[in-house]
């Protein structure tokens, strides 16, 4: 009995591989992790989100809102743990469980890191406001701004380090983060730009900004930071 040959698909469609189940599972894993991550970030930082939604001009009360940011580092550790699980588990990822596990495991050290970073930024912010009336403002202002940028960059890299290298001491992580922040300055600059976008979105539209913006942009921050740490560890 002769069989009828199936005609081959021609043109571009015939050369494009059909997406498989694993591809759709991976896409769903990313979307699910991002959506769950945004919701969990909002819950973990509820006082900050609520005050952003209620206060008409948050910039006028920046010290108060900066102080509320002490809750952010532990939630970032949880989010980065869910990103790491996404890389390890793919479509089978459980972002809520991964977030809570990372939050609990890194809470003590990430909270201490957050308090230190917020205190340093508050000190630098007050100094910046004071030097504006001084004759040396043109010289001191760039120094303070750079110090604040380095503080934020080192803090973000150290939080990621808590997840990537959980057995490493906080002091060693801070030293490594400072070194990598300076050496990989272009990644630090990208991190600051992305953090600026997240902050702007949260200030302009607190509800939509927190619901949509943070997780995808923080995933880029996480990827860059993980790359910096892995490259440094591979260096002989």
Q: How far is CA 194 from the centre of its chain?
A: 8
Total number of domains constituting the chain: 1
Assess if residue 91 is contained within a domain: yes
pLDDT digits (tens, 9 = 90+) for 144-203: 999 999 999 999 999 999 999 988 888 999 999 999 999 999 999 999 999 999 999 888
In a domain, 114, yes or no: yes
Q: Dump pLDDT digits (tens) for 93-149.
A: 788 999 999 999 999 999 999 999 999 999 999 989 888 888 887 888 999 999 999
Please report the DSSP string for 37-52 in residue order.
HHHHHHHHTHHHHHHH
Contact indicator for 143, 131 with CB cutoff of 8 Å: no
Residue 2 lies in a domain: no
As a residue count, the chain comes to 236
Q: Which domain holds residue 34?
A: 21-234
Residue 16 in domain: no
Question: What phi and psi, each to the nearest 5 degrees, are found at residue 91?
Answer: -70, -15
Place of tokens 């539209």: 205
Global pTM reads 0.84
């Amino acid at each position: 009995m002769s069989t009828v040959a199936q005609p081959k698909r021609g043109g571009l469609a015939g050369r494009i591989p059909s997406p498989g189940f694993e591809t759709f599972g991976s896409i769903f894993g990313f979307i699910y992790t991002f959506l769950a991550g945004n919701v969990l970030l909002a819950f973990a930082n509820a006082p900050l989100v609520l005050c952003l939604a209620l206060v008409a001009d948050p910039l006028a009360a920046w010290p108060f809102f900066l102080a509320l940011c002490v809750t952010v580092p532990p939630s970032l550790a949880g989010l980065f743990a869910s990103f790491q699980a996404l890389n390890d588990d793919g479509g089978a990822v459980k972002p809520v469980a991964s977030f809570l596990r990372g939050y609990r495991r890194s809470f003590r050290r990430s909270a201490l890191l957050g308090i230190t970073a917020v205190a340093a930024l508050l000190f630098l912010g007050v100094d910046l406001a004071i030097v504006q009336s001084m004759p040396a403002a043109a010289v001191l202002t760039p120094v303070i701004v750079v110090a604040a940028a380095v503080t934020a960059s080192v803090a973000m890299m150290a939080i990621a380090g808590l997840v990537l290298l959980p057995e490493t001491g906080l002091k060693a992580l801070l030293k490594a983060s400072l070194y990598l922040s300076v050496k990989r300055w272009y990644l630090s600059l990208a991190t600051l730009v992305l953090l600026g976008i997240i902050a702007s979105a949260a200030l302009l539209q607190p509800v939509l900004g927190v619901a949509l913006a943070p997780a995808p942009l923080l995933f880029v921050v996480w990827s860059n930071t993980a790359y910096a740490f892995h490259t440094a560890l591979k260096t002989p």
